[in-house]
Structure 1
Amino acid sequence: MPYTYSSITSLKSEVKNWILIISTLLFISCKESNGADSNMDDAPSEEITPISFTAIGDVPYNNEQRDGLIDIISRHNAIDPSEFVIHVGDIKPGAAECDETVYQDVSGILQTFKAPTFIVLGDNEYNDCADPQLGLEYWNKYFLHFNENWTFEPTVVYQPERAENFSWTERNVLFIGVNLVGSQVHDSLEWQNRLIQNGQWVKKLLEEQVNKVDAMVVFGHANIVEAGPDKFKPFTDLFRSAALTFGKPILMVQGDGHFWIKNKPWPEQNITRLQIDGRDTAVKITVDTSLDYPFSFDRHFLD
């Protein structure tokens, strides 16, 4: 049937109506989409602020260093530069007798820090004692869960097998403290079991937190690189393997050597090892996970 003029006119009118409807729908859709994008742009993004902490260790070895430690704490309290303090072990010289009064004295001094303070075992107050078990008893009495002398907002957890080992996560950073002492091996079975337990705990925490954190900091006392690396192998192998799988920046902070070392001693280039100066000195360490290399160090912040 041939189209008439009136039918063509009607068809044109219908097409115009459909074009108008479709255009209106497209306009509304674009406006809603742009509005959603605008809201997303305006929404505040969560900003992770850096974490700064202070590391000390191998102190005090004598009355002069004891006075120096008291002075460090006084200056530290005056400027309040850090969120917490870590003492990486050795509260007395190794040759000195493991007398309970020493543990009590240093514990009292460290408790004058305003900032929450953590401590890991050093060999001088434990492994180098004539009776290591007695030294450990004194250390547990005055330093176990030392951080609980302060209010500390992150939840600190302790390894079930080793109550002296601690950990917490804060602002995308995993912190771990372990009983990693040097010096002589009194009991090879105890030594190996302790190192394996340390390594397994680090591995477990890293596996649990791998998708939740962007960096890790580990605290221990011993120089496990230059000071007889073979005897630390049960821990080092587990630690390095876990670090390789983790693949994100790791800082290992140690004492023991009494001079500054900052290097990457293993093929796993995501691990930075830091040996602090110790004695009556302090270093402020900042972790900023917004940076490709998140760790920075200030050895003169108390000057």
Structure 2
Amino acid sequence: MRQSTRLALTLITAAALATSAGCASSPPAAKAAEEGFSFALWGDMPYKRNGDDPGLSAVISSLNAADIAFSIHDGDVKDGSSRCDDVVYTEALALFNRLKAPAVYTPGDNEWTDCHRLNNGGYDNLERLAHLRRVMFGRPESLGQRTMALEHQAAPHVENVRFERQGIIFATFHMPGSNNNRVLDDEDCTFKSARKAADCAADNAEYEARDQANIAWLRASFAQARRQGARGIVTVFQADPGFDLPETNDDESQAPRYNGYRRFMDALIVETENFSGHVLLVHGDTHFYKVDMPIYRQHKQLTNLTRVETFGSPSLHWVKVTVDPADPQLFDIEPVIVH
């Protein structure tokens, strides 16, 4: 049986229904919009240490056989215990170009944030970030055998992209795991790492600049959605910003390791509260498929924001989202189990 979750959006008004009922025919553009579309969400794969290659081929075949307009990979194209050599990025580029439909990618922590770790090769992770940007975001359009146009944020944050399809705004944000590259203290700086104090100061400066850029991109994306009367906005980033931390005193010590996401999430809540449509928040990082409404604001649930967490290695599956503009519920979310 097909498993799906319907997400409530604003109701279509009676006046709009009456108008559409009174039309003898719709123009071609309107008919195309009424048909809707589907897209795919996936991420946190492949992990070579988990022997993902055979399963990954099955995922690619499944995506290529599916009726989807495009796919979005929400980060981590390698595992966190392997080297960050140049071949990682060229292999990732080749992976996305095996897809028939356009492919959009936003970076995770394993491909740059954690490259300072000794078991990752002890790289300068900011040098790896610059290399990733050159290789993975060296052209304006999407990846994939069939491409689509993307709007990029200004350099150096060219990995943040935005596009629109049939009244839905899609925006990606470079917000990876490992606390968004924010270094907490000296112990955090040097633990199993080749970093020195100066490197960690540079990391924190990078975090501050990118966090501000992400928030600016977020506000601009919501402004565009409101300006165009969009029914929904899909926001995608890699990190789990701490949604599933247990709310117990024993676990409060873990909260600082998520404080690199606080300002962005506060801005997202404000923007969502001032948006009449539905916000679909997509992330990876913790590798367990989930669909829920995890945000409360002053003891009130934010009911127009739904979180989708994608599968991740070794669970090599993907998520299909179908948009039906004629349906006031708009989004249909379905896990696709790859065999």
> Which band: TM-score by shorter chain?
0.7 to 0.9
Letter in 2 for 1:239: L
Select which of 307, 312, 318 maps to 1:273. Answer: 307
Letter in 1 for 2:309: Q
Name the residue aligned to 2:15: none
**TM-score, reference length from structure 1:** 0.80
Q: Is the 8 A contact 1:225 1:265 kept in 2?
A: no
> Is the counterpart of residue 139 in structure 1 residue 132 in structure 2?
yes
Deviation at 1:60, TM superposition (A): 0.7
Letter in 2 for 1:160: A
| Distance in structure 1 (CA, Å) of the matches to 2:62 and 2:217 | 36
Q: Is the 8 A contact 1:192 1:234 kept in 2?
A: no
Note closer, same or farther for the CA distance 1:300–1:43 as it changes in structure 2 (3 Å cut): closer
Q: Is the 8 A contact 2:152 2:159 kept in 1?
A: yes
Taking only aligned residues, the RMSD between alpha carbons, in angstroms, comes to 2.3
Name the residue aligned to 1:44: 26
Q: Deviations over 1:165-207 (max 9, x none)?
A: 0001110100001101120524333213312221221111211
> Is the counterpart of residue 157 in structure 1 residue 139 in structure 2?
no
Note closer, same or farther for the CA distance 1:195–1:290 as it changes in structure 2 (3 Å cut): farther
Name the residue aligned to 1:171: 166
Letter in 1 for 2:24: D
**TM-score, reference length from structure 2:** 0.72
SS of alignment partner, residue 200 of structure 1? helix
Q: Is the 8 A contact 2:96 2:144 kept in 1?
A: no
Letter in 1 for 2:67: P
Q: How does 1:279-290 map to 2 (within 5 A)?
A: 279=313, 280-290=316-326
Note closer, same or farther for the CA distance 1:180–1:276 as it changes in structure 2 (3 Å cut): same
Name the residue aligned to 1:231: 260
SS of alignment partner, residue 210 of structure 1? helix
Residue identity (%): 25
Q: Is the 8 A contact 1:284 1:301 kept in 2?
A: no
Letter in 2 for 1:243: T
Name the residue aligned to 1:203: 219
| Distance in structure 2 (CA, Å) of the matches to 1:44 and 1:302 | 38
Name the residue aligned to 1:70: 57
> Is the counterpart of residue 215 in structure 1 residue 209 in structure 2?
no
SS of alignment partner, residue 293 of structure 1? coil
Q: Which moved more, 1:107-116 or 1:142-151?
A: 142-151
Letter in 1 for 2:160: N
Deviation at 1:148, TM superposition (A): 4.8
Note closer, same or farther for the CA distance 1:41–1:55 as it changes in structure 2 (3 Å cut): closer
Deviation at 1:159, TM superposition (A): 0.9
How many residues align? The count is 264
| Distance in structure 2 (CA, Å) of the matches to 1:246 and 1:123 | 30
| Distance in structure 1 (CA, Å) of the matches to 2:336 and 2:289 | 13
Q: Is the 8 A contact 1:157 1:166 kept in 2?
A: yes
Letter in 2 for 1:225: G
Q: Which moved more, 1:282-291 or 1:127-136?
A: 282-291
Deviation at 1:150, TM superposition (A): 4.4
Q: Deviations over 1:215-236 (max 9, x none)?
A: 0101100001337443211111
| Distance in structure 1 (CA, Å) of the matches to 2:159 and 2:307 | 22
Which structure has more relative contact order (CA 8 Å, sep 6+)? It is: 2
Name the residue aligned to 1:8: none
